[in-house]
Amino acid sequence: MQNIVAAVIAFWCLTAGLEPPGHFAAGLAPPKHGGVYVVAHRGAHEGIPENTLPAYARAIELGADFVEIDVRTTKDGRLVSIHNASVESYAEGHSGRVAEMTYDELRALDVGARIAPEWVGTRIPLVEDILDLCRNKIGIYLDLKAGDVATLVDMVKERGMEKQVLWYASLSKLRELEKSCPSCIAMPDPGPEKNLKKLIAAFQPAVVASVWRHYSKSFVDTVHDAGAIVIVDEDDPGCWEDALKWKSDGIQTDHPAALIEWLAQNRQNGLDSPPRKP
């Protein structure tokens, strides 16, 4: 059904002299909030332990388009979601590097107690548990810090989630992804804008990632001219106005609830981004 809808919209755009929305080139579901994907950075973690199942569940409840997860590998080869390479910031009185701890050792850590009493007992989640929670409910912006591409691909394919996961990783890891899963969605980040055209030529990506310090209207225009979409990691809510004005396709934020509300207000004021002209 999604492919039929995409074809109809693409045909309508072409007959109207407009370019089909870029998310169809990537095979993604359309954004829920006025043409802009809302990416919940480390889940919706305001008052909730970040990178945990409750934070990801809250993002689903809010209606975000994607959750960002950070993937690392334990000593015994399990894939978990945790941002930092070590655990000191997550569990008081504990230390150690994720790569040097077994999953059972990590699982023993209570990462919710430092946030609020209601989250006591919250644990570092396995990637497969996150996939099961999010499947067909919300997309995943997968930030591969340290992990085996082939193992992750198997998990994604097993669940039929190739078009529900955006892969943010080193260029070498994305090359591995291209070989092992051509239908998966690589999302390279060029860093400074001077690298953008070279990256587009090398990868021909459907989705490009960026961070605010490297971002500009010309960055967005270059991505759109290549037929791709761009998702930017903002610095703070003060970035949103320029991001929308420049016709950004997605915003990664620590404040997904506020961003969703802000986009709704903009829709009411008629400030949605229209389909792009060729």
Beta-sheet pairing, 66-73 with 79-81? antiparallel
Amino acid identity of residue 242, one-letter, is D
Integer CA distances (angstroms), 108 to 33, 90, 91, 168, 199, in order: 38, 12, 10, 29, 42
Pick the catalytic residue from 23, 45, 83, 224: 83
Beta-ladder partners of 68: 141
Pick the catalytic residue from 23, 33, 41, 45: 41
H or E element, residue 229: strand 229-233
**Rounded Cα–Cα distance for residues 268 and 204 (Å):** 35
3-state secondary structure of 223: helix
Select from 145, 191, 186, 188 the least CA-distant residue to 166.
186
For the chain, give the number of residues.
Answer: 278
Whether 23 is a known active-site residue: answer: no
Residue with token string 């334990």: 74
Q: Which two tokens stand for residue 125?
A: 């989640």
Residue with token string 């850590």: 109
Q: Which two tokens stand for residue 86?
A: 């070590």
Whether 41 is a known active-site residue: answer: yes
Q: Catalytic residue numbers? A: 41, 83
